[in-house]
Chains A and B, each alone.
Chain A
């Protein structure tokens, strides 16, 4: 049993004895009871999509599925193709990739998740490094720690270009570390 706050995009959970894949997780601050988790999920038996909210301490059975390290290879409309070390290819539907699409990059390493022998999703590492391809310059003198700006990060798919909120001191072409569970900036990486 895992609390909602520990469940990640790509995990398969059992809800009312049915397997659901978590496709997207939005975490929001709430009352003193903690955070609210809004999940986009899909019933793996019926393919029906579903949106639910949970408290951070709601507990779920997480289905342990076969996983295998793979790298992102290419897009074969409408499927995304990943390859393992033995050059076996696995095709995954776009809707099953959920937030992983935001970070897709040629050669990206991740883990393919299998259900009934079929690759159904990928799990990303908890943190991931991506370069900023566009961000407005910082406003001089505005150093408040709370002030953030938008930054577009590199992505294999033009139409999926993803934006992350970063502090003002972060610049275009910087590489940043992102927490894939929350889609939040963690730190800038400079040599």
Chain B
């Protein structure tokens, strides 16, 4: 795709429904397409404030700006007329957002029709394989969209992964001095650095108070690193103070430390430096898999508990034989309840399985790597339907 002198153009439409997952994934994909594939990317995003939290260079007032080689347009509304020349070669609607009708009309007017993709959410459910890359004809216009599903098998689009990610990770994880400097930079005292370090990134309904109680009573020192704004109420209760970046307190075996909300680019080293990661949503969930550390997933809640199905589907692919992780993950996501409302036995069983999980993680990565990466797979597919 990047052989011609004129770069392929790609427009990515992102609507932030809540949190940072939507823009997190789109931003990661956009940057990778520019850096590794020389694609001219335009990112249309409706919420620049959320974007600025994960990418501080973003000007929240600008209608158009260039960040890291990506043209960022503030997507204000569905109005506007567009010309065929305004339409990119590849148009991606992320998570089935409605592209402005004027833009869709212009897509149909373009002499060479654009490749139109709906990039869907990540799930390990089997049905995705049957829908990946299937067409979706427009009911009235001579346009065909294709559904593109990220996933964990060769019959899906794969996972987002930058070409140098694993090399950077390995370098970091083999550099004890570098890790100490990184953790020191986050304010961790030497005792916290020696403790079992858990990064905690979860939705507000997570059972954090119960987990804190278990960690406090646990048999070994544990440092919980939580970004500012996450699990606010529970962290405030533990600290007995406002959970601002830099705040920390030790009770029993547990130290809770509030970290600044780091830009997306700085999140990986945190995952790499911790012994266990609790992650949420889709983007950090994938990063935790690449971190090669034991992790538990706090999944985005959906109506009718559809997310329980998605969680079980992932567990049955990832570790059907490592029951402590399954039990911990199900309880952490509210599918089950810990016996006697005590999280300590669940945590102890989970931490006792870290060795098996380390093995599993290595094998899992090998298998997932064989599917290529999402950005490359997406461009290969786009080229096949152009």
Contacts and interface: CB of A to CB of B under 8 A. Distances in A.
A52 B123 contact: no
Interface in B39-87: none
A14 B134 contact: no
B112 interface: no
Contact of B136 (A26, A34, A58): A58
Interface centre among A17, A30, A36, A59 (most CB of B within 10 A): A30
A59 B139 contact: yes
Interface stretch (B125-133, B181-189, B364-372): B125-133
Given A36-B147, A53-B131, A31 B96 contact: yes
A151 to B, nearest CB: 20
Given A29-B306, A55-B118, 14 more contacts: A15-B138, A16-B138, A17-B140, A30-B123, A32-B300, A32-B302, A36-B131, A38-B131, A52-B137, A53-B134, A53-B147, A58-B139, A60-B139, A146-B308
Given A28-B127, A29-B309, A55 B96 contact: yes
Nearest to B17: A32
A95 interface: no
Contact of A31 (B121, B130, B134): B121
B300 to A, nearest CB: 7
Interface in B101-142: 118, 120-121, 123, 125, 127-128, 130-131, 134-142
Contacts of B128: 28
Nearest to B137: A15
Most buried by B among A26, A34, A52, A146: A52
Contacts of A36: 120, 131, 147
B123 to A, nearest CB: 7
A33 interface: yes
A157 B111 CA distance: 50
A20 to B, nearest CB: 9
Nearest to A35: B306
Interface of B: 17, 95-96, 118, 120-121, 123, 125, 127-128, 130-131, 134-142, 147, 300, 302, 306, 308-310
A54 interface: yes
B96 A52 contact: no
Given A14-B139, A16-B140, A36-B131, A28 B300 contact: no
Interface of A: 13-17, 26, 28-34, 36, 38, 51-55, 58-61, 146
A33 B14 CA distance: 13
Contacts of B17: 32
A33 B95 contact: yes
A28 B147 CA distance: 13
B120 A16 contact: no
Nearest to B118: A55
B95 A32 contact: yes
A44 to B, nearest CB: 15
Nearest to B147: A53
B311 to A, nearest CB: 12
- Nearest 6 A-B pairs (CB), nearest first? A31-B121, A33-B96, A28-B127, A29-B306, A53-B134, A53-B147
